[in-house]
Structure 1
Amino acid sequence: MSTLITLITGGNQGIGFETAKNLVFYSSSYHVILGSRDLHRGEAAMKMLSALPDIKGTVSVVQLDVTDDASVDAAAASIKDSYGRLDVLVNSSGIFEPGKPRIVARKIFETNVVGYINVTEAFLPLLHEAPSPRLVFLSSSLGSLTHASNPESRYYTPLGTEYRAATAARNMIMNQYWVRLQKEGNGQFKVHGADPGLVVTNLAETPERLRARGAAEPDVGGERVASIIKGERDADVGLVCGVYGVSPW
């Protein structure tokens, strides 16, 4: 049980990839499984990580499309056959799309909300097999209703409404799993929301525009999420942990 089997959805790129990198550099205890919708991209990311010097942990990949039930179930069956349990699940997949609200809302919620429930439900039986399971939901201060309704907040803006609404929904999902799993998991489950802050990714804006706005580099965002997985934010279990502390609901 010394190896911590860790699945990161969307692990082939962005925050998911940087989180995986941080973990495998940190300790030989981590075996990180990169969940990737495109298996070829996932395999390329796995090879990139495995080839880095001074890597301590290990990496593998599984095809996983959070919007496809068959894909999610197949990934869960594969991990069950290989390891028999899952110690850490990091729901990191996400999309942002501009366009007509009624169209993009359906796409964003399908991946960023329904996808998170889909994956979590499929892997809960394997998490229950772990001695100290962790469940992490990627979040953002953009999902805070407190920030969104405060004229003094930097997040007081109507931009990205569909994405922000989906993030707020994820926060509630995280909260409800925390409440539920305290009872089901005999107090062993630790559930967190992880807010990496404004980070350079290809999610919505170009790296140049993001850096001009003061965004942190990708590895910084990965470290912020990884710190939760490592147990450094266990005092804030059940909450959304951000760079400035705990994000208000």
Structure 2
Amino acid sequence: MASDKSIILITGASNGIGYDTSYHLAAASPNYHVIMSARTPSKGEAALKEIQARNPQGTLSFLQLDVSSDESIATAAKKIEEDFGRLDVLVNNAGIYLRDATRDNLRSTFDTNVFGPLLLTHALEHLLKKSKDPRIINVSSGLGSITNRADPEHENYQVPFYPYRMSKAALNMMSTCQAFEFKEWGAKVWAYCPGYVVTDLTGKEDRENRIARGAESSETSAQGILEIIEGKRDGEVNKFVRRYGLQYPW
């Protein structure tokens, strides 16, 4: 791979926000190489072929990665090092949504939404340190804002979803800890809310319900991530940012 390309890893890239972000980044510049990672190889490779068929300016590749597996994380980190030698941008996008606050659901939600991004970032830290401009984008949610959750006037005050809310609040804390820990070697870190968009996060059967409730295209989420990578949100490092130049309170 040409050393002048920015190497970007996106987790959970086989559909939804990860898929759209993969395309938008590859389409934005010939200087971007996007590593699309997904847990299921067949889905990830199919997504890669679909995007390549659209002839974006940049290049893409697929990497099998299950963020809930330490073995998968270690294998993926080794592969990235062998193929590229460094990593410039990490987009921790993979996530799950489980409704009921059972012990199993809480464990599964935190395993994917919090433990996975944390351990993956640690496994890739030595490769990010080799970048001239390392960036980490942790895809969170406005539902993880403790300030908004405590505000009876906020539009999402009545939304329950305890496991998901709690995991995103923890991811936000992880982001601020990373910003503090990594600043000595120059990494920029953001928590990013992609907005209420049409994805399969809450199940394929809920897509029409999301549209009826005013959900926008996940392409708008991808555009927000592109703006961060392009440096347009550099004045908001270590902030909880959202689309359209806005922010959420922690």
TM-score range, shorter chain: over 0.9
Determine the structure 2 residue equivalent to 1:204. Answer: 202
Match of 2:42 in 1: 40
Could you tell me which runs of 5 or more consecutive residues in structure 2 were left unpaired when the two chains were aligned.
none
Tell me which residue corresponds to 2:249.
Answer: 248
CA contact (8 A) 1:194 1:228 kept: no
CA apart distance, 1:172: 0.3
Counterpart position of 1:92: 93
3-state SS, counterpart of residue 111 of structure 2? helix
**Matched letter for residue 215 of structure 1:** A
Give matches, 1:109-188, under 5 Å: 109-183=110-184, 185=185, 188=186
Distance 1:229 1:24 in 2: 12
Once the 2 structures are TM-superposed, how far is the Cα of residue 98 of structure 1 from its aligned partner? 2.5
CA distance in 2, matches of 1:80, 1:243: 32
Q: Deviations over 1:195-222 (max 9, x none)?
A: 1110100001511111111111121121
* Paired residue type of 1:86: L
Q: Partner of 1:246: helix, strand, or coil?
A: coil
Report the 3-state secondary structure (helix = DSSP H, G, I; strand = E; otherwise coil) of the residue aligned with 2:194.
coil
Off by >3 Å, runs of 4+ in structure 1: none
**Does residue 67 of structure 2 align to residue 69 of structure 1?**
no
- Gaps spanning 5+ residues in structure 1: where? none
In structure 2, what is the Cα distance between the partners aligned to 1:153 and 1:219? 25
Can you list the C-alpha shifts for 1:186-241, whole angstroms capped at 9, x where unaligned? xx211111111101000015111111111111211211222212211111011111
The 8 Å contact of residues 221 and 243 in structure 2, kept in 1 or not, is answered as no
Contact 1:195 1:242 in 2 (8 A): yes
How many equivalent pairs are there?
A: 245
Structure 1 stretch 83-92 or stretch 206-215: which is displaced more? 206-215
Question: CA separation in 1, counterparts of 2:36 and 2:160?
Answer: 31
Q: 8 Å contact 1:88–1:133 — kept in the other structure? A: yes
User: Does the 8 A contact of 1:31 with 1:59 survive in 2?
Assistant: yes
**Inter-partner Cα distance in structure 2 for 1:9 and 1:158:** 26
Check conservation: 1:182, 1:189, Cα contact below 8 A.
Answer: yes
CA distance in 1: counterparts of 2:70 and 2:191, whole angstroms: 24
Q: Percent identity?
A: 38
The answer to whether residue 20 in structure 2 is matched with residue 18 in structure 1 is yes
Q: Does 1:51 align with 2:53?
A: yes
**More displaced, 214-223 or 55-64?**
214-223
Q: What corresponds to 2:213 in structure 1?
A: 213
CA shift for structure 1 position 158: 4.9
SS of structure 2 residue aligned to 1:215? coil
CA contact (8 A) 2:30 2:57 kept: yes
Does the aligned pair in 1 maintain the 2:34–2:60 contact within 8 Å? Answer: yes
Match of 2:187 among 183, 186, 189: 189
SS of equivalent residue, structure 1 residue 60: strand
CA distance in 1, matches of 2:196, 2:156: 11
Distance 1:132 1:100 in 2: 39
The amino acid of 1:119's aligned partner reads L
* TM-score of the superposed pair, with normalisation by structure 1: 0.95
Please, what is the CA RMSD of the aligned residues?
1.2
Q: Secondary structure at the match of 1:217?
A: coil
The two structures have a TM-score, normalised by structure 2, of 0.95
8 Å contact kept, 1:27–1:57: yes
Assess if the C-alpha contact under 8 Å between 2:198 and 2:210 holds in 1. Answer: yes
The 8 Å contact of residues 20 and 32 in structure 1, kept in 2 or not, is answered as: yes
CA contact 1:195–1:225 (8 Å) conserved in 2:
no
Secondary structure of the residue aligned to 2:90 is strand
